[in-house]
A = this chain, B = another copy of it.
């Protein structure tokens, strides 16, 4: 193995084209002040020799690293991965971001950081120092962790905060949670439901709150009461079970339930079945996230799709263009959509007391 050096470097190209290194560098970086003829000659040599610049060398001399770093919460990501229940957040984020990055000559690196650890700064700091990424994408709950956003800001690294709309450094991005929760609620209202229960997510996630807000607002617009119709979970299956039980144990139970995560919706479905309630005849269910499994549930779940891939792609673009355009003024919204499947139907005509 030994020293594996670059086989064809900028020097070879320069020699082949009979120009200086600088000129080649200028052509590579599409800089102005190169005569078209010269440019062509150099490009010909590049193609002929199959030259590709080394990103290590580029980074070394103070230019870009052409690396975008995407970080996710360590524990959650590993738990999802082990569970193997088809959650495809990582896939969607990776592919969405990667393909867009590739189009622009960038690469995306995926990394896990522990939110709760006291070593956040160490871990993230190490990744930054080692990789020197040109941009970082952070997802919940990292995107609202001031320790993380602060470190990034300090280091002057452009970053996108997915699932965060606060002011401050970094590009704030959301998937329109509030609006989507409203759409889901409206969908049920149109089907004649008046008692629409909502299973909220945990407070640590702002987006959980936005979803609840969207439901509340849509209910208000339709002059429907939210009283007794809200329960809170932690996005996980178990918590969904408890929340659904509580909702259906009410004196005047809901005829429809919106859960702020797929797992909680699946739990609600189980609870309904257990109680002999037919979905969607007796109870309609809408879920949030739209991970693959909800399509394979029986009945398949009407769900709010989170456009993770599109969001990651957009984040990559914004990050790459950051130097030119700077950060957008307002939070960037990459809007998801409501996908109607078989778990929602007209409200039952009379109450099942």
Contact = CB atoms under 8 A, between A and B. Distances in A.
Contacts of A56: 55-57, 59-60, 65, 132
A132 B1 CA distance: 13
A52 interface: yes
Contact of A323 (B1, B60, B126, B291): B1
Interface stretch (A89-97, A179-187, A232-240): A89-97
Copies in the complex: 2
Interface string A149-169: 000000111100000000000
Nearest to A50: B125
A221 B33 CA distance: 75
A62 B57 CA distance: 11
Contacts of A5: 62
A52 to B, nearest CB: 4
A62 B110 contact: no
B55 A156 contact: no
Contacts of A6: 129, 132
B86 A296 contact: yes
Interface string A272-310: 000000000000000000011101111000000000010
Interface stretch (A76-84, A138-146, A201-209, A223-231): A76-84
Contacts of A110: 94, 98, 108, 110
Given A54-B132, A109-B109, 7 more contacts: A4-B156, A5-B62, A50-B122, A55-B131, A86-B88, A94-B94, A94-B110
